[in-house]
Amino acid sequence: MKRKFVQIVALCLAVGLLLGAGRETAAAASANSNGRIIRVGLHYGTGAIEGLNLLNNVGSGFRFGYYDGSNRFVELGSTPQTAISVVETMNVYYGIYNGYSSYHTAITSSVAVGEYHLQLPGTYSSFAQAQAAASGYLGGFVAYIGGTYYARVGSYTTRAQAQSAQAALGTACELSWTSEYGVSVVATGTSSILFQYDDKGQGTGLGVEPIQVGSEKCTTWSKGFHYPGGFRFERINGGKLTVVNIVDFEDYIEGVVGTEMSNSWPVEALKAQAVAARSYAVSLGSKHSAHHFDICDSTDCQAYDGHNGAGSNTHAAVTQTTGLGCVYNGKPAESFYYSSNGGASESVSNVWSSNQSRYPYLVGKVDPYEASAGINNTWERSFTSAQLISRLLSKQNVRGAIVSAAVTAYTEAGNPKTITFTDSTGASYSVDTNLVFQNLGLPSFRFGFAGGGGTGAPAPTTPSSNISINGSTMVNGTAGLYAIDGNGGITALGGDMYIITSSGTSPLGQGANQNQSYVNNWGSSAVTINGTITFSGRGSGHNIGMSQWGAYAMARQGYNYQQILQFYYTGITVGYV
């Protein structure tokens, strides 16, 4: 997770570094807000920060304001200064803390931004007027407090320092500060305040955007990652800074695709990822509304590192599928995905005990494609008897040490469904595999035991890949094939299909590698060895929905993104979400 105090760089066209006269605007649309906007949390909760550096070393500076209820940027002022920092209005000091150079309260240094200021008499109707008044004093700056412009001078860490400066100023002024919601913008590495904002707890926060010049979109660097759009800094309940990326939805999707997959992957796999990411994001809604944003940047929602991983392929994948997502019964599907399944996906009811009727498209099935990706996704995890009891069996009154374990039931997809443990007294204790997977933190849902007995998971029958007519093999697989309906409509073949035979119906193969599957390298049971029982498995993730490596393999075999999605999400269609 990308937290703490990090540095940001914005890229646009170069201009000078002198602080110029600000400009006031009516509610103006963000440069990236031509379509749907999404609010992505970057720093929040325990990861909220005290100071964040913004560096625009080739651009035209920044503008300050706030985002209204429709996520439109309302400009209050601007600066061509290209090295700024946003800090909470407390006594903060510039220096290195936890490996990052920024402003912190946990250190002291000669560069301090104090919480006390001097305020000049009167109020102003615009940023330009307040700036003109403040510029007559060393250390003068514009403050926008509770919806009104003021001119202020200096930043002092103690009341005594502020009072001494007040006496020396030689003009009428009063001691001032902000509330616990106050935010200051300073020239990075200095004590000079450029702008101050206090929404008095109204929840708007400070908006900061790189100034757009021409048609080229600006991006903003953050600890090696660069983001499109703007940023909102808010002190929720008077706490540290919550930082949110306010970004065009399609720009966000391109960031997810480049983070979750690689730009070097086949475009059809990237398209499948883009479509799944869209419907998943829409289905989440405003998951993090308590922190005043929609979706976070971690795998708790979807991994998003801005546009670092973006390139020509990810851009093509997003633009060629703009607005499309997985749809079931007219609604966006919760299109979960993961890295790899090790040979079979799994039904959501078996992994998370969800009501399967709510997710008919999240059904486990044997995956004949993923193996051809050639990845090494095997793993082993060992646990002592004490660990198994404390994490899994603490409520079952275990009589002695655990001495053996076995898979005693399998799902229809061939993944373990029930694990039975036996203690030294011979007593047995059965646990649903979803608890084993979650409580032991296993890498995937497909596993057995290392160094044990049994034959492993039963091998589900895989359908033939040959499609024959009158006994003669005509084609191998369905890739590139189409069906013509009674009205003359043409539809690409894909997903789960069946062929009518003399004895009924049979599943239809979907590629030359249909029968190529993983060979299990584990047993269905094990005994304690050197005080531990070792689980062995394959895959990475929860096994629900689309395997990313499976999508990669299918794309390499010639399947398009719709066929990929319809294989992993049973019964969905691709439509606008």
As a whole number of angstroms, the distance between CA 569 and CA 66 comes to 40
As a whole number of angstroms, the distance between CA 88 and CA 50 comes to 6
Distance of CA 444 to the CA centre of its chain: 20
82-98 core/surface letters (b: 16 or more CB in 10 A; e: else): bbbbbbbbbbbbbbebe
Q: Report whether 86 contacts 185 (CB < 8 A).
A: yes
Q: Rounded to two decimals, what is the model's pTM? A: 0.84
- Give strand pairing partners of 378: 538
Number of Cβ atoms within 10 Å of the Cβ of 330? 7
Helix-helix angle 561-568:267-284, to 10 degrees: 50
Q: Report whether 490 contacts 482 (CB < 8 A).
A: yes
Number of Cβ atoms within 10 Å of the Cβ of 68? 12
Number of Cβ atoms within 10 Å of the Cβ of 306? 28
Size of the chain, expressed as the number of residues it contains: 577
Q: Report whether 359 contacts 571 (CB < 8 A).
A: no
In the sheet that 100-104 helps form, which strands lie side by side, from edge to edge?
Answer: 100-104, 92-97, 112-113
Q: Is the sign of the CA dihedral 47, 48, 53, 58 positive or negative?
A: positive
Q: Which of 188, 182, 194, 258 is nearest to 9 (CA)?
A: 188
Q: Is the sign of the CA dihedral 97, 100, 105, 108 positive or negative?
A: positive
Measured distance between the N- and C-terminal CA atoms of the chain, rounded to whole angstroms? 28
Helix-helix angle 561-568:548-556, to 10 degrees: 140
Per-residue pLDDT of the chain in tens (577 residues, 90 and over written 9): 333 333 344 434 333 322 333 333 333 333 333 489 999 999 999 999 999 988 776 568 899 999 999 999 999 999 999 888 999 999 999 999 999 999 999 999 999 999 999 999 999 999 999 999 999 999 999 999 999 999 999 999 999 999 999 999 888 899 999 999 999 999 999 999 999 999 999 999 999 998 877 776 777 776 677 888 999 999 999 999 999 999 999 999 999 999 999 999 999 999 999 999 999 999 999 999 999 999 999 999 999 999 999 999 999 999 999 999 999 999 999 999 999 999 999 999 999 999 999 999 999 999 999 999 999 999 999 999 999 999 999 999 999 999 999 999 999 999 999 999 999 999 999 999 999 999 999 999 999 999 766 655 555 544 444 444 444 444 444 444 545 444 444 444 544 454 544 434 344 444 333 334 677 889 999 999 999 999 999 999 999 999 999 999 999 999 999 999 999 999 999 999 9
Burial of 41 (0-12, 13-18, 19+ CB in 10 A): buried
